[in-house]
Chain A
Amino acid sequence: MNVTIVDYNSGNISSVINSFEEVAKDKVNIEVTSDLNKIKSSDKVVLPGQGSFKSCVDALNKIDGLVDILSEFAINNKKPLLGICVGLQMFADIGYEETETKGLGWVSGKVSKIDNQNGKFKLPHIGWNQINIVKDSKIFKDIENNSHMYFVHSYEFIPNDKSVISGTTDYSSNIVCSVEKDNIFGTQFHPEKSDKTGLKIIDNFINL
């Protein structure tokens, strides 16, 4: 099996690579590439993302044909795709970080700044927070409810169709921290930095 981590200059993806390699060992081949043919032929795709919504969308668009290949993979061919952090946020129709930017539109919704309630809550939301699993998600197999995950973000994904939400976390409000829509998965937290529980989520995705 081939799992491709999309390398589109979205900032630091070393930790994502290291964690997938740790879980995959020799059983699964992990590719790190922006090569369209390799992405097309892989079994699963991971879309990481660090920095702002706009910088990630711009970086995706900079690679000719990448967005089309990813859409074909996830939407037409319905193969498993996992978005992490801004990788998840880009599923939305629109994001408001820096400036209004169009997203991939795979999971209808918007990405807005977390309401810090006039400074009562610090942003970014950094650190370990518990996840509240609200629906059965394949990537949460053997993950206990209220497990701790590592978060770093100032913006949140607000999907229109609440049934895609698989997990939330409590900060200044109830924040969507994971989604599952058919073959499309996303986590706002960083499984690659969430110790053993995080690695288990990666394992679940690899073993889908």
Chain B
Amino acid sequence: MLKKRIIPCLDVKNGRVVKGINFVDLKDAGDPVEQAKIYSDGGADEICFLDITASNENRDTIYDVVERTSKNCFVPLTVGGGVRSIEDINKLLNCGADKVSINTAAVQNSKVVEESSKKFGSQCIVVAIDAKKNGENWEIFTHGGRNPTGIDAIHFANKMEESGAGELLVTSMDKDGTQSGYDIDLMKKISSNVNIPVIASGGVGTLDHLAEGISAGASAVLAASIFHYGTYSVQEAKQYLASKDIPVRI
């Protein structure tokens, strides 16, 4: 049986992990490579890097991080943040990323998704959807959640599936950072409307939130803080899900 995936996400800025961390035996708390390795050794099903480097001159730092990580971690690695073009995708894949997540560029020009999934295969194209509740619907935002677009999230999700996305990474902006759980209605709506896997993101504070995301139809659950601050380990998360009869790789 296919297992539900747990994906720890690390925010990386200028080649360093942004938030502090409490892992013991960590030589360099800011090194994404070392942290990714700890996650993969601890049973993470995939690793996700979100590059939040703002300035263009430091953009290249992520390539080095990806290259070193892929030589040390042998589970799938997804990299997102600032991916604008086919060339960016190509560079990340060549450095050893297994999947690339595209946000703003996918909204501005769905051809990027179409062309990249043709060129590299759907399996490595993840479209990241940042959505915010607006009345009965959800509106998608770009540029790290700063710019409203007026585009309906469900409609956009369908369009991305048609364009060739292999997976959707759905983040609720209302919930992100609140530790109050995923936006369950949003996850349910999107995952029941598309036939590709959905990764739930934004708002995890407890292990039960992970279970709720899976029950809402997500194929994988992504979380940053709870793993990052050492509140729970990936292994604890998996054991909890297993105790709720959710199939996980242990």
Contact = CB atoms under 8 A, between A and B. Distances in A.
B245 to A, nearest CB: 16
A125 B98 contact: no
A127 B219 contact: yes
Given A11-B120, A50-B124, A128 B45 contact: yes
Interface string B85-103: 0000000011111100000
B171 interface: no
Given A22-B71, A51-B120, A126-B219, A116 B2 contact: no
B195 interface: yes
Nearest to A194: B74
B189 interface: no
B80 interface: no
Interface residues of A, number: 38
Instruction: Give the top 8 A-B pairs by smallest Cβ distance, nearest first.
Output: A51-B121, A12-B93, A152-B123, A14-B96, A128-B249, A128-B3, A148-B249, A50-B121
A157 B166 CA distance: 20
Contacts of B4: 127
Given A18-B71, A51-B121, A153-B123, A124 B166 contact: yes
A18 B220 contact: no
Given A127-B3, A128-B45, 18 more contacts: A12-B94, A14-B93, A15-B98, A22-B71, A50-B124, A52-B121, A122-B219, A123-B195, A123-B196, A124-B197, A126-B167, A129-B3, A152-B166, A170-B1, A171-B2, A193-B75, A196-B74, A198-B74
Contacts, number: 99
Most chain A CB within a 10 A radius of its CB, from B4, B94, B120, B249: B249
| B95, B122, B220, most chain A CB atoms within 10 A | B122
Contacts of A171: 2
A123 to B, nearest CB: 6
Nearest to A151: B2
A128 B154 CA distance: 27
Contacts of A195: 40, 74-75
Interface of B: 1-5, 40, 45, 70-71, 74-76, 93-98, 118-124, 166-167, 195-197, 219-220, 249
Interface string A103-132: 000000000000010010011111111100
30 contacts: A12-B97, A12-B120, A14-B70, A19-B74, A22-B71, A22-B74, A55-B121, A116-B195, A122-B195, A122-B219, A123-B195, A124-B122, A124-B166, A124-B167, A124-B197, A126-B166, A126-B197, A127-B2, A127-B3, A127-B219, A128-B2, A129-B2, A129-B3, A150-B76, A151-B2, A152-B166, A154-B122, A193-B98, A194-B74, A194-B75
Contacts of B3: 127-129, 148
Name the residue among B2, B3, B124, B220 with the largest chain A CB count within 10 angstroms. B2
Nearest to A120: B195
Contact of A127 (B45, B74, B95, B120): B45
Interface of A: 11-12, 14-15, 18-19, 21-22, 50-52, 55, 116, 119, 122-130, 148, 150-154, 170-171, 192-196, 198-199
Given A22-B71, A150-B75, A193-B98, A11 B1 contact: no
Nearest to A118: B195
Contacts of B196: 122-124
A175 to B, nearest CB: 10
Given A128-B5, A128-B249, A195-B74, A50 B123 contact: yes
A122 B166 CA distance: 10
A126 B123 contact: yes
A50 B119 CA distance: 10
B203 to A, nearest CB: 22
Contacts of A151: 2
A50 B123 CA distance: 8
Most chain-A CB neighbours within 10 Å: which of B98, B118, B166, B196?
Answer: B98
B93 A127 contact: no
A12 B99 CA distance: 10
